[in-house]
Structure 1
Amino acid sequence: MELGSMNQYIRSVELHRESISSFDRYPFCLPAVRNLDNLSLHPNVTFIVGENGTGKSTILEAIAVAYGFNPEGGTKNFNFSSMDTHSDLYGCINLVKGVKKPRDGFFLRAESLYNVATNIEELDKGERGPRIINSYGGRSLHEQSHGESFLAIFMNRFGGKGVYILDEPEAALSPSRQMSMISRMHELVGRESQFIIATHSPIIMAYPNSIIYEIKEDIQAVKYEETEHYQIMKAFLSNTQGMLDILME
């Protein structure tokens, strides 16, 4: 599937299979990685969805690290590390880039947001010029709830003409905040931004100008209504009591 144009920042992801010594070890043993060849990315929004443990965050992390982001999140200027847990998949993929270069970028992970917030405060202690936190809304991220700090980064730090890679943003956001995220994401797409998002959220993945890759035994492009997440949520909301009766038998 050829989606990319020469004008988008990241056109596709290629797995260098010849550089992998064994597909029996993690993360290469994951079906999603084992069957990965070439993944074309949407110029606006690419979603990677699937059950826990299928490898969607592993693939997303590899894309982010291969692009130059810190494995725990932040901009390309962040180089802190609280624990080295990222896989070496990033060294076995190639990112096919377009001719345009982004002016901005961020790798945002709900699970390591605390570490990003801490690093910002540590950097600001040694800064004599404008504080870094000013570009995040001016208020310490540690003085806000998890969801508030996540949204503060999304609303204030993301400025457009950027590559934004998000790992399970719904972990920090309520349903109404997820809708706010869609609205802001649409604004940023209008400012020449590209998003790559791993998510479980049927709300977030409803964004229309996008492609959804669903991971099962391999990675396939699917329509929104075909995703397992959408079908399960629709079935539950359409017949809540019936579903609860089955679950609690």
Structure 2
Amino acid sequence: MNATGDWLHDRRPIRRVSALRDAAVADAETDGGEWPASIPAIAAVLRDGLDFGPGVTFLVGENGSGKSTLLEGIAMAAGLPPEGGSSNGSHTTRPTESPLADWLQIERGPGAPRGGFFLRAETMHGYYSYLESLDGSPDRHLHSLSHGESFNDLLDNKLNHPRYVTGLACLDEPEAALSFASTLNWMVGLRDMVERGSQVICATHSPVLAALPGARILELGDWGIREANWEGLQLVGHWRTFLDSPDRYLRHLFAD
């Protein structure tokens, strides 16, 4: 297939994220202090842009490194509701979003599916209440499930439903609700989603989830954003050291 044919059949909901030529972005870059442009990873995206391949991309890094802020900005710029849900949802309670989405432009593949879903761990209670309020909603049962069961239900019935392609799935720390066994189930689900044509961007602290074969890993930190392999992640190193000898690890932690 020639290059033109490849482009026409590109099904990536997001090929590239970059900064709009917007005064707010320019001001943030000039003074260097306006949040979230002051976060190194966000500054790197605004300066250089960020390309996304098909399949799964994990965003990993410490608290405050910009994972969730970047994911939220991408999700909103792609037309997903800021508090979670599908692209045709309108649920909102108290706006707390950064202005990042207004600074970003999304480049899509011409053959990309138009739908999407944003799973945001800390706002799922409100999202379930929204679904419960809809007449005839098939998802009114979610409040009756445990935290982890409800996330597994979302995986099976929204994200990884065999009858359709999610399109873009933005997942913000889904492991917050998951046991080890459920995390493994999610890895299988993510693989199945990708095989049907979905694109996944997931912010995570889970070394288990980040071990998904074939996934791309971006590590965020003081350096900005860098591509990383699983073995070299700070996240993996810390967990290995702790699990190898919790007593020794804790002695250092409580030494003072």
The CA distance in 1 between the partners of 2:251 and 2:71, in whole Å, is 37
- Are the aligned partners of 2:169 and 2:198 in contact in 1 as well (CA < 8 Å)? yes
- Are the aligned partners of 1:42 and 1:210 in contact in 2 as well (CA < 8 Å)? no
* Stretch moving more, 173-182 or 158-167: 158-167
Give aligned pairs, total.
Answer: 236
Q: Which residue, 45, 49, 68 being the options, matches 2:60?
A: 49
CA RMSD of aligned residues (A): 1.7
Deviation at 1:117, TM superposition (A): 0.4
- Are the aligned partners of 2:11 and 2:113 in contact in 1 as well (CA < 8 Å)? no
| 1:149 matched residue in structure 2 | 150
Deviation at 1:118, TM superposition (A): 0.5
- Are the aligned partners of 1:49 and 1:199 in contact in 2 as well (CA < 8 Å)? yes
Unmatched runs of 5 consecutive residues or more in structure 2: 1-5
The CA distance in 2 between the partners of 1:31 and 1:184, in whole Å, is 32
Residue pairs, 1:89-100, within 5 angstroms = 89-100=100-111
Report SS of the residue matched to 1:132.
Answer: coil
Q: TM-score, normalised by structure 2?
A: 0.87
| 1:72 matched residue in structure 2 | 83
Cα deviation per residue 1:201-221 (whole Å; 9 max; x = unaligned)? Answer: 001111121211111120001
The CA distance in 1 between the partners of 2:17 and 2:231, in whole Å, is 25
Matched, 1:230 2:231: no
Q: TM-score, normalised by structure 1?
A: 0.89
- Are the aligned partners of 1:164 and 1:193 in contact in 2 as well (CA < 8 Å)? yes
Unmatched runs of 5 consecutive residues or more in structure 1: 125-130
| 2:42 matched residue in structure 1 | 33
Q: After TM superposition, where is structure 1 displaced by more than 3 Å over at least 4 residues in a row?
A: 16-19
Deviation at 1:54, TM superposition (A): 1.2
| 2:3 matched residue in structure 1 | none
| 1:128 matched residue in structure 2 | none
Deviation at 1:79, TM superposition (A): 0.9
**What letter corresponds to residue 234 of structure 1 in structure 2?**
R
Report SS of the residue matched to 1:35.
Answer: helix
The CA distance in 1 between the partners of 2:112 and 2:20, in whole Å, is 24
